Amino acid sequence: MNSHATLRCSAPSSPGYDAGRFTLSVLPSVLRLTWRHQIVIDHVDVARVGRAITASAHRRLPLLVQVSALREVTCEARQAVLGYSHPARIALLGSDDVDLVLTAFMVRAPSETRFFTDQDDAVRWLLQP
């Protein structure tokens, strides 16, 4: 799948904060969030993603979240994610059990959410009626 459009977080960077920690792309009928490898996701990241999704003209699309090779998700970030309700399904796409463990808290999120290791399976599930 090739992305048709790429949106970047437009929130101003805090001093010392590394921009480009995620990419928000629009695939056919799916919004894709890709986290940069080996980062620690914190509440600032979650807030920036939330603002980017809200600002997107595609915010009602199902969301595919690439979580492979994250280093950590902080407690504050987990709480922020659990407070977010996406209007469509969310598929978490990882590559192994470590990714599953790092994102297991998401199953308690208000949005219908599942973990996958195969992108095609994830997209099929996202697009089911």
For the stretch 16-50, pLDDT in tens is 455 689 999 998 899 999 999 999 999 999 999 99
Instruction: Note the pLDDT tens digit of each residue in 41-73.
Output: 999 999 999 999 999 899 899 999 999 989 999
**C-beta separation of 79 from 73 below 8 A:** no
Question: Pairing between strand 113-116 and 90-93?
Answer: parallel
At residue 19, the pLDDT reads: 65
Is the pLDDT confidence value at 89 over 80?
yes
**C-beta separation of 107 from 101 below 8 A:** no
At residue 107, the pLDDT reads: 73
**C-beta separation of 64 from 103 below 8 A:** no
At residue 44, the pLDDT reads: 94
At residue 17, the pLDDT reads: 52
At residue 41, the pLDDT reads: 94
Q: Any idea where the domains of the chain sit in the sequence?
A: 5-9+20-127
Class of domain 5-9+20-127: alpha beta
